Amino acid sequence: MKLESRLNLLSGVIIFMLVLLAITNVLGRKLLNIPVPGYVDWTEQFMAAFAFLGLAFCQREGGHIRMDIVVGRLRRRPLWLAEWLSILFMLILTTALIYGTFFHFLRSFDWGAPNWSTDSSIDIALPLWPAKLIVPFSLAVLWVRLALQLWGFGRAIRENAEYPVAVPLIETAFEQAQAEAHTVEGADG
């Protein structure tokens, strides 16, 4: 999905902006004795963005850390069934997390308050609801990705397909090493 890629790019841009903010804070404090007001508040706000916005992209690319000792030895239908069960568990867990984090956002958001929030940061009183909204939004995008992968593995199980559609495939250690070597060489994956 283009949305996943754009959210991942936005996450990278936010990290870059935080680096620039840190440099500005250090240089301002050291050279002019003028630190960035609310530096810690801004950093805390944007941590939710770069931590969660790339989740669905990482799932799409198969980039999450996983243990493949047993699953890596399976082939076709048994492998697709193991993956399907894993995705189903993640989908259930993600559903519960969306539910909980959305209500956490609602507790910090107040429609009647002058700045729409009763929950704010300590130093410069930034409203916390935008960062708290990013989490259920990012998890909802991940939920859609997981649902698509659940469908893909289910179809592969039903058809005993050699390769499922719409899902990341497990790379062997050799394939991972080759991909990393191509990256270091500057070649496109």
Q: Are 131 and 49 contacting, i.e. CB atoms less than 8 angstroms apart? A: yes
Residue 153 backbone dihedrals phi, psi, to 5 degrees: -70, -35
176/112 Cα distance (integer angstroms): 53
Which range is most confident: 3-7, 138-142, 157-161?
A: 138-142
Residue 170 has pLDDT above 60, yes or no: yes
158/153 Cα distance (integer angstroms): 9
Residue 112 has pLDDT above 70, yes or no: no
pTM score, whole prediction: 0.83
- Over residues 61-71, the mean pLDDT reads 73
Q: What Cα–Cα distance (Å) separates residue 46 from each residue in 18, 36, 43, 61, 133? A: 8, 15, 5, 24, 12
Confidence of residue 189 (pLDDT cuts 50, 70, 90): very low
The percent of the chain in helix, strand and coil, each rounded to the nearest 5, is: 70, 0, 30
Question: For all residues of the chain together, what is the average pLDDT?
Answer: 85
Those residues whose C-beta lies under 8 Å from the C-beta of residue 185, and which sit 6 or more positions away, are: none
> Considering only 54-63, 80-89, 96-105, 118-127, which range has the smallest mean pLDDT?
118-127
Residue 116 has pLDDT above 60, yes or no: no
